[in-house]
Amino acid sequence: MKNRLFGLRIKNRGKCNKIAGIGGCRINKTKVFFYGDNNSVILGDMSTLSGVSIHIHGSNNIIDFGKRNFLSGCVFCVEDDNNSIKTGERVYVYKETEISAIESTSVEIGKDCLFSAFILIRTGDSHVIADKTTNERLNHSKSIRIAEKVWIGIDSKVLKGSNIGKECVIGSGSVVTQSTPTAENAILAGIPAKIVKQNITWSQTR
């Protein structure tokens, strides 16, 4: 059991931060950075993390991975306070994928999801855009919800406020926005993503 712990490096620049579930996971070349207080990372039992980076900048945030997740070469980030990223069971996330929540928002990912490489999922724009006359902010951050059994193709983006229904496939290179129709059992593709085929299902087997 001990050799499963050697692959985890932790940098803690705060108080009352914790990582739970380490003993039930296989971990290799994975880093966790805490810059703030009262943050939690929960690793689901029987999960595998290889080359994963987890960055938390702020306080009272939570990253909660479900059981039997397989995470390889990907990045999870939260910025500011009171954010959350949660995945269901049997979620697969591959290289150069980044999942981020900022400004008190959440990313919820259902069970049995499959995310290919070079995907960006982000609840905000990082910088403020405002009306020059009134100084009113125009680009508030918004939570993202991805239902169960969603397959996201390579080089896709899921932007703030997006809601993807269960058993959907997102075509490679697509951009999902808050204006993308919320559908189930559908293929969505394009910029912005639109429904191109309905009444489908998919399987990880060939």
Q: How many domains does the chain have?
A: 1
Closest C-alpha among 148, 40, 21, 50 to residue 90: 148
pLDDT, residue 74, reads 98
In a domain, 131, yes or no: no
Q: What is the largest CA-CA distance in the chain?
A: 61
Give the dihedral sign, CA 24/47/80/145.
Answer: negative
Return the CATH number at 150: 2.160.10.10
Q: Is position 206 within any domain?
A: no
User: Does 110 map to a domain?
Assistant: yes
Location of structure tokens 């996201």: 152
Identify whether 134 is part of a domain: no
- This prediction has a pTM of 0.94
Please report whether residue 31 resides in a domain: yes
User: Average pLDDT over the chain, rounded to whole?
Assistant: 95
In a domain, 163, yes or no: yes
In a domain, 47, yes or no: yes
Q: Structural domain of residue 41, as residue ranges?
A: 2-125+140-198
pLDDT tens digits along 129-182: 999 999 999 999 999 999 999 999 999 999 999 999 999 999 999 999 999 999
Q: Count CB neighbours of 188 within 10 A.
A: 26
Residue 132 lies in a domain: no
